[in-house]
């Protein structure tokens, strides 16, 4: 990354500052959706495949208190996210994802990893490293280990702009 690009990105960020204030990465993992789990506590593995623009399976069943190991595979041609949260959390995250697209961090089927690592000032970066989600390029696969706590309104969703609206979310059903 050369200096002029960096300056441009920083300038663009300050313009988007009001959007960012709606919810920065790292603050949205409240107890409503559960908490990061330990692999040793996971009795079950669920493989979730991501396509353009839907999940397979489209819903999952969990028990309150259960820890699940998710193996998330992107089988589509676009960048996709697997994110566990409430509808309100997803809505907040969609604003951040929009910014990632505007800044060229998400480019259709590719992620700009250099840009994601870049320090934007004020401790902000475009890193996508929340424990409740993974953001994957086509062909990539990663794990999310999550402990579902109390029964609540939780979905797994892709917050890449337009994908949630196209139906790329699934229900977490408690039983
Ligand atoms: Cu998607």
Domains in the chain, start-ordered, CATH in brackets? 34-174 (2.60.40.420)
Distance 77 CA to ligand 1 centre (A): 10
Distance 150 CA to ligand 1 centre (A): 27
Distance 74 CA to ligand 1 centre (A): 9
Please write the tens of the pLDDT for every residue from 74-114.
Answer: 999 999 999 999 999 999 999 999 999 999 999 999 999 98
Distance 149 CA to ligand 1 centre (A): 26
Please write the tens of the pLDDT for every residue from 3-55.
Answer: 444 444 444 443 333 333 333 344 444 446 899 999 999 999 999 999 999 99
pLDDT at 59: 98
pLDDT at 117: 85
E-assigned strand segments in the chain = 35-36, 44-51, 54-56, 59-62, 67-74, 80-85, 106-107, 110-111, 133-136, 141-147, 155-157, 169-174
Q: What is the pTM of this model?
A: 0.80
Distance 135 CA to ligand 1 centre (A): 9
pLDDT at 32: 67
Please report which confidence band the pLDDT of residue 126 belongs to, taking 50, 70 and 90 as the band edges: confident
Distance 4 CA to ligand 1 centre (A): 31
Give the pair of three-digit tokens for residue 124.
Answer: 């902000």
């Amino acid at each position: 990354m050369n200096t002029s690009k960096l300056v441009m990105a920083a300038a663009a960020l300050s313009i988007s500052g009001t959007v960012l204030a709606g919810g920065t990465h790292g603050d949205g993992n409240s107890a409503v959706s559960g908490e990061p789990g330990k692999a040793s506590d996971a009795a079950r593995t669920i493989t979730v495949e991501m396509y353009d623009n839907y999940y397979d399976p489209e819903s999952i069943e969990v028990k309150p208190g259960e820890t699940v190991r998710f193996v998330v595979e992107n089988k589509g041609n676009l960048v996709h996210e697997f994110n566990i949260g409430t509808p309100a959390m997803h809505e907040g995250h969609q604003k951040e994802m929009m910014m990632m697209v505007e800044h060229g961090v998400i480019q259709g089927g590719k992620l700009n990893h250099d840009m994601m690592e870049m320090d934007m000032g004020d401790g902000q970066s475009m890193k996508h490293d929340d424990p409740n989600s993974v953001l994957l390029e086509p062909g990539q696969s990663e794990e999310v280990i999550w402990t579902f706590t109390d029964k609540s309104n939780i979905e797994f969703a892709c917050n890449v702009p337009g994908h949630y609206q196209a139906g790329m979310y699934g229900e977490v059903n408690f039983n």
